[in-house]
Chain A
Amino acid sequence: MRALLAFLCLLLAAPLAHSQALPLDSQGKVSFYEVVPADSLRAGTLYAHAKRWLAHHGYQVSTADSAAGRLVATQALAMYDRGYLTKKLHGKVRYQLMLEVKNGRYRLEFNNFIFDYYQEDRAYRLVPTGKTKPLEDSLATGWQKLWQSHRHDTLLGINSLQADLKTAMLAVAKAPVAAPQARSATW
């Protein structure tokens, strides 16, 4: 009986895990927010780490205020329709990342999530149509399953980026590589 109950619990838990909800702020907008302690790291170091991480991940930085320790940047996650044979770009979820650093801590927020519809233009290039859909919108009549998959992929994508960012923010700067010493006859 216990085994049966455990099996039923597992069956119930599986779809719940898949439909893990997107975090919302007080306005009901999708927002991934966290204040992260970074003991012993100065604001300037954290700012430099953040800036390097943004550049490495191809973010477009709109605000870079080193005095205030504030960075604002945008980027997008590609969303695919898995198709029957191969997957195909269906759109992109663009978002904003705000980072503020202080001595010993920083806070991050991913927000302003908007889905941009893509379709083939007359030269068969996939381009944004200009149509958009806020990620908070849970309904997508006619393509609900695909929309759910986009929302889920966004959740996974941002969680992964957030983890990566947190690791990079605490990264210890590598010691400069010593220049090779010239060989000399006397050793």
Chain B
Amino acid sequence: MNKLLPTLALAAVSLAAHAQTDSTDTGKLTVSGYIDSYYLTAFNKPKSGNLLGVDQLAGRAFDRLPDQFALGLVQAKLAYSNRKSDLVIDLTFGPNADLGNFGNTTGALNLYRPASPYVAALYGTSAAIKQAYFTYRIVPKLSVTVGQFGTHIGYEVIDAPVNYNYSLSNLFNNGPFYHIGLKAAYAFNDKTSLMLGVVNNWDNLTDNNKQKSLIGQFTYKPLSNLTLYANWIGGHGDDAYLSTLVDAGTLPTACDNYQRNLFDLTTNFQVTSRFYLGLNAAYGWYNFKDNDAEQAVSALFGSTSPAWGGAALYTNYAFTDVLGLGLRYEYFNDKNGVRYLHTSSNSLTITAPITLAAGKLQVKPEFRLDVAPNAYYENAQGLGTDRQSTLGMAFIYKY
């Protein structure tokens, strides 16, 4: 042990020294990551002490704890890149890592997870893997990626430094977070590219059946400051939760015969050097193919072809490199209860990020208002109320 520590320290120093002296764009190792924490208060003062709503569903996904200092996530990301390949090992720890990797865990976050085909303890280390994949460029225009990677669907990501707003949108919270599988990307030219792949459904470390989901992304960059992404994921019988209900006998077998599709449009538009506009819109639905399933599906979802979707508009203005102001408006509908929100919601989020220490430190004061058509949120008496507003501050440090 006495010799091991100095040896490891020496190895780490030499690795860092080697990386520092590398001045080329190829064959380089990058170590990066961040930590984040937040403090917020909710004006509806929920009796339960969290922001999930009166029925404890998904009123807020990640930043769910009011009136206390709360840790978000700790990330350690290693990336190695050379001319032919990229390797990403993205490890995360902490409350938001558990939430983000819920498909790699067992317990309250993942009640429908099938029994681990490995030993149960293996999920312990798997929960730390946010991403682990490599990309190999067969030719400069064609690459293949294999492993666990962040989803191509949507606008926001788990990584707090990448998002403008700290609090995550309902579109993000109710979409897939990651996939495990294989995808290939082809760049037709500098402006257009296409990605196609096959994955273990949504947020699945281990697949519950033999059905896979197909994924696709068409990227179009008509201007240097405008990018459009048209995304899709679809599959037959690829909802692990539904399959679990069928397996448990809660739903008839006919309910396992369906097609699920999700289409998503994401745009980034840096209008001027200071002014930015972004848009995210998504629509997903189930198409049950067996008439015998109609009654059970109707009883469960209130529709024979349950759907969900929404749209979010993002805009921000940079007064200086230090201070900006951004606004996000979002409408999201999950009235059929096929995702996690189980209602519709209008949300407004105003964030004024303060960026210090050459971009390493971000302090984000933020106000968010969510309004639902029903008494979805929770008040101080533990009863339902139609709105929830929070004011808080997030602290993000990246390296």
On A, residues with C-beta under 8 Å from B are 78, 81-88, 90, 119-124, 128-133, 140-143, 145-146
Contact = CB atoms under 8 A, between A and B. Distances in A.
Contacts, number: 78
A131 B270 contact: yes
B152 interface: yes
Contacts of B25: 78
B8 to A, nearest CB: 15
Interface of B: 16, 19-20, 25, 28-32, 79, 88, 90, 131, 150, 152, 154-157, 159, 162, 224-225, 266, 268, 270, 273-274, 276, 318, 320-322, 355-359, 399
A119 B30 CA distance: 14
Contacts of B16: 85-86
A121 B25 CA distance: 18
Contacts of B355: 142
A143 B321 contact: yes
A128 B270 CA distance: 10
A85 B12 CA distance: 10
B150 A124 contact: yes
Contact of A123 (B20, B29, B150): B150
A142 B320 contact: yes
Given A122-B162, A141-B320, A142-B322, A86 B150 contact: no
A81 B20 contact: no
Nearest to B16: A85
A90 to B, nearest CB: 8
A86 B155 contact: no
Contact of A85 (B157, B320, B399): B399
Contact of B29 (A81, A86, A130): A86
A44 B358 CA distance: 48
B337 to A, nearest CB: 27
Contact of A131 (B20, B266, B318): B318
